[in-house]
Chain A
Amino acid sequence: MIEKTTHVPIVVSDQDRAVDFYTRVLGFEKRQDYQQEGRPRWLTVAPHGQEVEFILVKGRYTVDPRPPADAESGGNHHVFSTNDCRADFAALTARGLKFKDPAPIDAPYGITAYFTDPDGNHFALLQSKQPANGRSGETS
Protein backbone atom coordinates (compact mmCIF):
# COMPACT_ATOMS: atom_id res chain seq x y z
CA MET A 1 0.00 0.00 0.00
CA ILE A 2 0.96 3.64 -0.32
CA GLU A 3 4.25 4.22 1.50
CA LYS A 4 5.47 7.79 1.57
CA THR A 5 5.32 11.19 -0.07
CA THR A 6 8.06 12.13 -2.51
CA HIS A 7 6.73 15.22 -4.33
CA VAL A 8 4.25 18.02 -3.68
CA PRO A 9 3.25 20.68 -6.23
CA ILE A 10 3.44 24.46 -6.08
CA VAL A 11 1.87 26.38 -8.96
CA VAL A 12 3.97 29.29 -10.18
CA SER A 13 3.49 31.71 -13.05
CA ASP A 14 7.18 31.89 -13.99
CA GLN A 15 9.41 28.86 -13.31
CA ASP A 16 12.70 30.77 -13.62
CA ARG A 17 11.61 33.43 -11.17
CA ALA A 18 10.31 30.73 -8.81
CA VAL A 19 13.48 28.63 -8.87
CA ASP A 20 15.52 31.75 -8.11
CA PHE A 21 13.27 32.49 -5.14
CA TYR A 22 13.30 28.95 -3.77
CA THR A 23 17.05 28.43 -4.16
CA ARG A 24 18.64 31.85 -3.64
CA VAL A 25 16.20 33.32 -1.12
CA LEU A 26 14.92 30.26 0.76
CA GLY A 27 18.15 28.30 0.32
CA PHE A 28 16.61 25.16 -1.16
CA GLU A 29 18.58 23.00 -3.57
CA LYS A 30 17.50 22.35 -7.13
CA ARG A 31 16.95 18.62 -7.62
CA GLN A 32 15.63 18.11 -11.15
CA ASP A 33 15.22 20.28 -14.21
CA TYR A 34 14.45 18.72 -17.56
CA GLN A 35 11.85 18.74 -20.27
CA GLN A 36 10.73 15.90 -22.47
CA GLU A 37 9.40 16.79 -25.88
CA GLY A 38 5.81 17.96 -25.73
CA ARG A 39 5.73 17.79 -21.92
CA PRO A 40 5.83 20.53 -19.29
CA ARG A 41 9.26 21.38 -17.81
CA TRP A 42 9.86 19.19 -14.76
CA LEU A 43 11.50 21.42 -12.18
CA THR A 44 11.91 20.39 -8.54
CA VAL A 45 13.50 21.93 -5.46
CA ALA A 46 13.84 20.73 -1.88
CA PRO A 47 15.12 21.83 1.51
CA HIS A 48 18.62 20.46 2.20
CA GLY A 49 18.54 17.03 3.77
CA GLN A 50 14.88 16.39 3.04
CA GLU A 51 13.58 13.76 0.68
CA VAL A 52 10.30 15.44 -0.29
CA GLU A 53 10.63 17.68 -3.37
CA PHE A 54 8.50 20.60 -4.49
CA ILE A 55 7.43 20.46 -8.12
CA LEU A 56 7.39 24.04 -9.41
CA VAL A 57 4.57 23.67 -11.94
CA LYS A 58 3.90 26.43 -14.41
CA GLY A 59 0.27 27.45 -14.35
CA ARG A 60 -2.37 29.61 -12.77
CA TYR A 61 -3.73 28.84 -9.35
CA THR A 62 -6.89 30.34 -7.95
CA VAL A 63 -8.51 29.56 -4.66
CA ASP A 64 -11.55 30.88 -2.89
CA PRO A 65 -10.94 32.16 -0.26
CA ARG A 66 -7.49 33.48 -1.26
CA PRO A 67 -6.13 35.89 1.29
CA PRO A 68 -3.63 38.55 0.21
CA ALA A 69 0.04 38.31 1.21
CA ASP A 70 -0.42 40.50 4.27
CA ALA A 71 -3.37 38.52 5.63
CA GLU A 72 -3.85 35.17 7.36
CA SER A 73 -3.62 32.20 5.03
CA GLY A 74 -6.71 30.62 6.56
CA GLY A 75 -4.77 27.39 6.91
CA ASN A 76 -3.94 27.10 3.21
CA HIS A 77 -0.20 27.16 3.68
CA HIS A 78 2.85 24.92 3.73
CA VAL A 79 4.64 24.71 7.08
CA PHE A 80 8.39 24.54 7.52
CA SER A 81 9.91 23.62 10.84
CA THR A 82 13.01 25.40 12.07
CA ASN A 83 15.08 25.16 15.22
CA ASP A 84 15.65 28.94 15.26
CA CYS A 85 12.83 31.01 13.85
CA ARG A 86 14.37 34.37 14.78
CA ALA A 87 17.70 33.55 13.11
CA ASP A 88 15.94 32.32 9.97
CA PHE A 89 13.74 35.40 9.97
CA ALA A 90 16.82 37.64 10.03
CA ALA A 91 18.70 35.61 7.41
CA LEU A 92 15.74 35.46 5.02
CA THR A 93 14.94 39.15 5.49
CA ALA A 94 18.55 39.95 4.57
CA ARG A 95 18.02 38.00 1.32
CA GLY A 96 15.02 40.16 0.48
CA LEU A 97 12.14 38.05 1.79
CA LYS A 98 9.20 40.10 3.06
CA PHE A 99 7.39 38.53 5.99
CA LYS A 100 3.76 39.28 6.86
CA ASP A 101 4.74 40.76 10.22
CA PRO A 102 7.74 42.90 11.23
CA ALA A 103 8.99 40.21 13.63
CA PRO A 104 8.35 36.56 14.50
CA ILE A 105 5.23 35.95 16.59
CA ASP A 106 5.29 34.29 19.99
CA ALA A 107 2.33 31.89 19.80
CA PRO A 108 1.26 29.38 22.45
CA TYR A 109 2.54 26.53 20.23
CA GLY A 110 5.82 28.13 19.24
CA ILE A 111 7.58 30.97 17.45
CA THR A 112 6.22 31.51 13.97
CA ALA A 113 6.54 33.80 10.95
CA TYR A 114 4.45 33.93 7.78
CA PHE A 115 5.52 34.75 4.24
CA THR A 116 4.48 34.27 0.63
CA ASP A 117 6.38 33.36 -2.52
CA PRO A 118 6.30 35.68 -5.57
CA ASP A 119 3.04 34.00 -6.69
CA GLY A 120 1.22 34.57 -3.41
CA ASN A 121 1.50 30.98 -2.13
CA HIS A 122 1.45 31.11 1.66
CA PHE A 123 4.07 29.61 3.98
CA ALA A 124 4.61 29.41 7.72
CA LEU A 125 7.93 29.01 9.47
CA LEU A 126 7.50 27.36 12.85
CA GLN A 127 9.83 26.75 15.74
CA SER A 128 7.62 24.39 17.66
CA LYS A 129 7.57 24.44 21.47
CA GLN A 130 6.93 20.73 21.48
CA PRO A 131 9.95 18.48 21.14
CA ALA A 132 10.32 16.62 17.87
CA ASN A 133 8.60 13.49 19.33
CA GLY A 134 11.55 11.32 18.41
CA ARG A 135 10.64 11.01 14.74
CA SER A 136 13.19 11.92 12.12
CA GLY A 137 12.81 14.86 9.78
CA GLU A 138 10.96 16.99 12.30
CA THR A 139 13.48 19.79 12.51
CA SER A 140 16.58 20.77 10.59
Chain B
Amino acid sequence: MQLTHVPIVVRDQDQALTFYTDVLGFEKRADYQLPGRPRWLTIGRKAETLEFILVQGDAKVDLGLGPEAGSGGHHIALTTADCEQDYETLKTRGVNFAVGNYTKPIKQAWGTSVTFKDPDGNMFVLVQPNIVGKVFTAVSRLRR
Protein backbone atom coordinates (compact mmCIF):
# COMPACT_ATOMS: atom_id res chain seq x y z
CA MET B 1 0.00 0.00 0.00
CA GLN B 2 1.53 3.30 -1.07
CA LEU B 3 0.06 6.75 -0.77
CA THR B 4 -0.57 8.31 -4.18
CA HIS B 5 -3.11 11.13 -3.61
CA VAL B 6 -3.63 13.61 -0.76
CA PRO B 7 -6.63 15.96 -0.58
CA ILE B 8 -6.38 19.71 -0.03
CA VAL B 9 -9.76 21.36 0.51
CA VAL B 10 -10.17 24.70 -1.26
CA ARG B 11 -13.14 27.04 -1.69
CA ASP B 12 -12.35 27.95 -5.30
CA GLN B 13 -10.60 25.38 -7.47
CA ASP B 14 -9.53 27.85 -10.17
CA GLN B 15 -8.03 30.26 -7.68
CA ALA B 16 -6.26 27.36 -5.94
CA LEU B 17 -4.92 25.98 -9.22
CA THR B 18 -3.39 29.35 -10.10
CA PHE B 19 -1.76 29.56 -6.69
CA TYR B 20 -0.33 26.03 -6.74
CA THR B 21 0.96 26.20 -10.32
CA ASP B 22 1.93 29.84 -10.95
CA VAL B 23 3.05 30.71 -7.43
CA LEU B 24 4.35 27.45 -5.93
CA GLY B 25 5.44 25.84 -9.19
CA PHE B 26 3.43 22.61 -9.04
CA GLU B 27 2.37 20.99 -12.32
CA LYS B 28 -1.24 20.20 -13.15
CA ARG B 29 -1.73 16.43 -13.44
CA ALA B 30 -5.45 15.76 -13.94
CA ASP B 31 -8.44 17.98 -14.57
CA TYR B 32 -11.76 16.45 -15.61
CA GLN B 33 -15.32 16.10 -14.49
CA LEU B 34 -17.59 13.12 -14.99
CA PRO B 35 -21.33 13.85 -15.20
CA GLY B 36 -22.79 14.36 -11.73
CA ARG B 37 -19.38 14.16 -10.01
CA PRO B 38 -17.13 16.80 -8.50
CA ARG B 39 -14.34 18.19 -10.71
CA TRP B 40 -11.23 16.01 -10.26
CA LEU B 41 -8.30 18.38 -10.21
CA THR B 42 -4.82 17.26 -9.15
CA ILE B 43 -1.35 18.78 -8.97
CA GLY B 44 2.10 17.42 -8.11
CA ARG B 45 5.78 18.30 -7.94
CA LYS B 46 7.73 17.52 -11.09
CA ALA B 47 10.10 15.27 -9.14
CA GLU B 48 7.48 13.06 -7.45
CA THR B 49 4.53 10.88 -8.32
CA LEU B 50 2.46 11.94 -5.28
CA GLU B 51 -0.51 14.10 -6.29
CA PHE B 52 -2.60 16.58 -4.32
CA ILE B 53 -6.32 16.63 -5.06
CA LEU B 54 -7.70 20.18 -4.96
CA VAL B 55 -11.17 19.37 -3.61
CA GLN B 56 -13.89 22.00 -3.58
CA GLY B 57 -15.22 22.49 -0.05
CA ASP B 58 -14.93 24.45 3.14
CA ALA B 59 -12.74 22.82 5.80
CA LYS B 60 -12.00 23.93 9.33
CA VAL B 61 -9.46 22.54 11.74
CA ASP B 62 -9.52 23.27 15.47
CA LEU B 63 -6.37 22.16 17.29
CA GLY B 64 -7.24 24.01 20.49
CA LEU B 65 -4.13 26.19 20.23
CA GLY B 66 -3.79 29.93 20.76
CA PRO B 67 -3.47 32.57 18.01
CA GLU B 68 0.32 32.75 18.57
CA ALA B 69 0.80 29.10 17.57
CA GLY B 70 2.28 28.08 14.23
CA SER B 71 0.76 25.25 12.23
CA GLY B 72 0.50 23.11 15.38
CA GLY B 73 1.53 20.11 13.31
CA HIS B 74 -1.37 20.43 10.89
CA HIS B 75 0.60 21.05 7.73
CA ILE B 76 2.01 19.53 4.59
CA ALA B 77 5.81 19.46 4.87
CA LEU B 78 7.93 20.04 1.77
CA THR B 79 11.69 20.00 1.51
CA THR B 80 13.95 22.54 -0.12
CA ALA B 81 17.69 22.94 -0.59
CA ASP B 82 17.51 26.64 0.29
CA CYS B 83 14.77 27.81 2.63
CA GLU B 84 15.85 31.46 2.80
CA GLN B 85 15.98 31.80 -0.96
CA ASP B 86 12.60 30.14 -1.48
CA TYR B 87 11.14 32.41 1.18
CA GLU B 88 12.38 35.50 -0.68
CA THR B 89 11.16 34.18 -4.05
CA LEU B 90 7.72 33.17 -2.78
CA LYS B 91 7.31 36.41 -0.83
CA THR B 92 7.74 38.42 -4.03
CA ARG B 93 5.00 36.24 -5.53
CA GLY B 94 2.66 37.24 -2.71
CA VAL B 95 2.72 34.11 -0.53
CA ASN B 96 1.39 34.68 3.00
CA PHE B 97 4.04 33.75 5.60
CA ALA B 98 2.16 35.18 8.61
CA VAL B 99 1.24 32.16 10.73
CA GLY B 100 0.71 32.81 14.43
CA ASN B 101 3.75 34.67 15.71
CA TYR B 102 5.87 33.51 12.79
CA THR B 103 6.62 35.53 9.66
CA LYS B 104 9.99 34.33 8.34
CA PRO B 105 12.39 31.36 8.32
CA ILE B 106 13.62 30.17 11.70
CA LYS B 107 16.66 28.08 12.52
CA GLN B 108 15.91 25.01 14.60
CA ALA B 109 18.11 22.19 15.90
CA TRP B 110 17.29 20.10 12.82
CA GLY B 111 17.40 22.78 10.15
CA THR B 112 15.73 25.90 8.80
CA SER B 113 12.00 26.10 8.22
CA VAL B 114 9.27 28.53 7.34
CA THR B 115 5.49 28.21 7.48
CA PHE B 116 3.06 29.60 4.92
CA LYS B 117 -0.61 29.41 3.97
CA ASP B 118 -2.43 28.91 0.71
CA PRO B 119 -5.34 31.29 -0.08
CA ASP B 120 -7.68 29.00 1.90
CA GLY B 121 -5.51 28.85 5.01
CA ASN B 122 -4.11 25.35 4.36
CA MET B 123 -0.70 25.28 5.99
CA PHE B 124 2.68 24.25 4.63
CA VAL B 125 6.10 24.02 6.21
CA LEU B 126 9.09 24.35 3.93
CA VAL B 127 12.02 22.52 5.51
CA GLN B 128 15.72 22.65 4.76
CA PRO B 129 17.06 19.89 7.02
CA ASN B 130 20.64 20.17 8.29
CA ILE B 131 22.81 17.15 9.08
CA VAL B 132 21.04 16.64 12.43
CA GLY B 133 17.64 16.61 10.73
CA LYS B 134 18.82 14.21 8.03
CA VAL B 135 20.29 11.77 10.56
CA PHE B 136 17.19 11.98 12.75
CA THR B 137 14.94 11.15 9.79
CA ALA B 138 17.16 8.27 8.68
CA VAL B 139 17.27 6.77 12.17
CA SER B 140 13.49 7.01 12.67
CA ARG B 141 13.06 5.08 9.43
CA LEU B 142 15.47 2.30 10.42
CA ARG B 143 13.93 1.88 13.86
CA ARG B 144 10.98 -0.33 13.08
Complexed CA–CA distance, A75 and B24 (Å): 22
Q: What does the 1/0 interface line of B50-89 toward A look like (CB < 8 Å)?
A: 1001011111111111000000111111111100001001
A1 CB to closest chain B CB (Å) equals 6
Q: How many A-B residue pairs have CB under 8 A?
A: 159
Complexed CA–CA distance, A1 and B5 (Å): 22
The answer on a CB contact under 8 Å between B60 and A62 is: yes
Complexed CA–CA distance, A126 and B3 (Å): 10
Complexed CA–CA distance, A47 and B55 (Å): 24
In the complex, which residues of chain A have a beta carbon less than 8 angstroms from the beta carbon of B7?
75-78
The answer on a CB contact under 8 Å between B25 and A5 is: no
The answer on a CB contact under 8 Å between B57 and A63 is: yes
Contact of A61 among B59, B65, B144 (CB under 8 A): B59
Complexed CA–CA distance, A21 and B113 (Å): 30
The answer on a CB contact under 8 Å between B65 and A2 is: no
In the complex, which residues of chain A have a beta carbon less than 8 angstroms from the beta carbon of B61?
11, 57, 59-62
A28-54 contacts to B, CB under 8 A, are 29, 31-32, 40, 42, 47, 49-50, 52, 54
Q: What does the 1/0 interface line of B118-133 toward A look like (CB < 8 Å)?
A: 0000000111000000
A106 CB to closest chain B CB (Å) equals 16
A31 CB to closest chain B CB (Å) equals 5
Interface centre among A27, A40, A135, A138 (most CB of B within 10 A): A40
In the complex, which residues of chain A have a beta carbon less than 8 angstroms from the beta carbon of B73?
9, 40, 42, 55, 57
Interface residues of chain B, those whose CB is within 8 Å of chain A, are: 1-7, 9, 24-25, 37-38, 40, 45, 47-50, 53, 55-65, 72-81, 86, 89, 125-127, 137, 140-141, 144
Interface residues of chain A, those whose CB is within 8 Å of chain B, are: 1-9, 11, 26-27, 29, 31-32, 40, 42, 47, 49-50, 52, 54-55, 57-65, 74-82, 88, 124-126, 135-140
Starting from the known contacts A59-B61, A59-B72, A62-B60, 19 additional A-B residue pairs (CB-CB under 8 Å) come to A1-B80, A2-B126, A3-B81, A5-B76, A27-B1, A49-B2, A50-B2, A55-B73, A55-B75, A57-B73, A59-B64, A61-B61, A63-B58, A63-B59, A75-B53, A76-B53, A78-B3, A126-B4, A135-B49
